[in-house]
Structure 1
Amino acid sequence: MGDGKGRYRGTESRLSWENRIAQWLRRRPRDTDGPDADASRREELLLAVAEAGMPLAPAAYPVAYRCSCERIGCPIPARHPVSFAWQTQSTTDRAQILRWAQGDPQANFITATGMVHDVLDVPLEAGRRALESLLDQGIEVGPVAEAGGEGEEGRALFFTATRGTPADEDEWWPCELDCRPETMDEHPGLRWHCRGSYVLVPPARLPGDHDVHWVRGPEHPLPDPLTLLESLTDACARYAGEIEAAEDGAPEVAWPLGRR
């Protein structure tokens, strides 16, 4: 499953790569730099993810409002890996990631969860509220990304340490919130991506001029997922309650509408 680089690092090594990632994320190409600067920026962001130990694999990308996979009625356009072997293909190898990125400059990338990290995936508005609350409480929060636009389609992705890997079976425990690609619709609120799942990583493009971008970059250490879980579940419950209340209080519209 890739080469596992970045899993075990000493303190000095950790400080070095965290500082380097932070420098990469602060860079902003000038508008006059053009496509070459955009490509360089994309590669740097992908390498920053790999440097943090998160394995990557190529993913589909949007073509207008369709998916590059050309599957008719693709259920998750631009949000899935290119290869069915994405779990074994995923790697942190710098040279391989650059070959993929340069070979297909439009490709998105996914990171396979459950090996080094998990991802807690919540509705965007709930995630923003939870992030503010967590930071106000002084709780350590790791990398956080936003995917999609406002409304029901937008999601906030909280990257955490994994609960366990195949080599640590005794430390792994199942959770009713576990989410895999084929069960996404079953988890409209909180989704827990662990073994057998994946998420898109920034920078990624989505249909409708939406994207996936970092709010907090991969230079932040991965926290224990349980330190975030209560705040995220509370925020999701409040958000769901607000949606339900808004729907219940919506004024009825007579049909057919009469002309004025």
Structure 2
Amino acid sequence: MSATFGGRSGRQGKLSQWLLGRRPKEADADGREAELLAAAAAGLPLAPAAHPAPGYRCSCDRVGCPTPARHPVSFAWQTQSTTDRAQIERWARHQPQANFITATGMTHDVLDVPLEAGREALERLLGSGVEVGPVAESDDGRMLFFTLTRGTPEDEDEWWPCELDCHPETMDEHPGLRWHCRGSYVLVPPARLPGDDDQQVRWVRGPEHALPDPLSLLEALTDACGRHAGTSTESAAWPLRH
């Protein structure tokens, strides 16, 4: 399954032709910045995150970091997260190795499932004509479905904290699924993960796709997770609680 960043073929073709004329490092930097700006333009608030360091380590100074290259660099990431184009350009240019996270529960949520279950559900949803929205795939074995958020500051009763999300190890009703909402975050493509084989987080369906209601995806995702429960060796959803 290939990434569809850019959406319309003409727009994607122009981007590809432009990048072909750049030097390799320059093209990589420009492509990264363009993807980050596209995510922000779609309403995903971004903040800088750590990046991989040699030896399966994290760029942060924490000894034994439990989520290397998968966490924000600032404790103020929730207030720091923004869709402001100028700020994201500054971050991207001044921190060329940084990954970026997107804070959930503001404008969007993320349904985070094991990779094989996600691929099965995605095929089923698209085959049924359901509007799916942006989807990202992580080489550490997860698939991320980006959706509208179920709560807003104006509707406080609809908000719930990330601690009440569905955790793979505790929720039999939703095995393998985590609902990232208020107080949580996920890596946004393009992102690099620690490892020897250049692991990444990439778009399967880009941010140009409209965000759907999460409940329109939930049944297909939980059904697929249930079928794959107990047979998968994929990693647990992140961020992990410290």
Length-normalised TM-score, structure 1: 0.77
CA RMSD of aligned residues (A): 2.7
Structure 1 residues 174 and 104: CA distance shift in structure 2, 3 A = closer
Contact 2:43-2:107 within 8 A present in 1 as well? yes
- Per-residue Cα deviation, 1:93-128 (whole angstroms, up to 9, x for no partner): 101001111001000000000000000000011101
User: 1:48 — aligned with what?
Assistant: 38
Give % identity. 71
* Counterpart Cα distance in 2 of 1:214 and 1:220: 11
* Counterpart Cα distance in 2 of 1:20 and 1:87: 32
Asked if residue 126 in structure 1 is aligned to residue 117 in structure 2, the reply is yes
User: 2:132 — aligned with what?
Assistant: 141
User: 1:23 — aligned with what?
Assistant: 11
Q: Which amino acid aligns with 1:147?
A: S
- Per-residue Cα deviation, 1:127-186 (whole angstroms, up to 9, x for no partner): 0110000001111100000012xxxx410000000001222214446799616xxx7865
User: 2:87 — aligned with what?
Assistant: 96
Q: Give the 4+ runs in structure 1 shifted more than 2 A.
A: 18-33, 170-177, 183-188, 241-244
Determine helix, strand or coil for the equivalent of 1:27: helix
Q: Which amino acid aligns with 1:37?
A: A
Q: Which amino acid aligns with 1:60?
A: A
Q: Which amino acid aligns with 1:99?
A: R
**Structure 1 gaps, min length 5:** 1-17, 245-260
Structure 1 residues 88 and 184: CA distance shift in structure 2, 3 A = farther
User: 1:9 — aligned with what?
Assistant: none
Structure 1 residues 58 and 242: CA distance shift in structure 2, 3 A = same
User: 1:167 — aligned with what?
Assistant: 154
* Counterpart Cα distance in 2 of 1:219 and 1:22: 14
Which has the larger helix fraction?
1
Q: Measure how far apart 1:41 and its partner are.
A: 0.5
Q: 2:142 aligns with which of 155, 158, 167?
A: 155
User: 1:230 — aligned with what?
Assistant: 219
**Structure 2 gaps, min length 5:** 1-5, 234-242
Contact 2:111-2:147 within 8 A present in 1 as well? yes
Structure 1 residues 66 and 19: CA distance shift in structure 2, 3 A = closer
* Counterpart Cα distance in 2 of 1:238 and 1:22: 39
User: 2:236 — aligned with what?
Assistant: none
Q: 1:214 aligns with which of 203, 222, 225?
A: 203
* Counterpart Cα distance in 1 of 2:73 and 2:169: 21
Aligned residues: 220
Note the 1:192-203 alignment, pairs <5 A.
Answer: 192-203=179-190
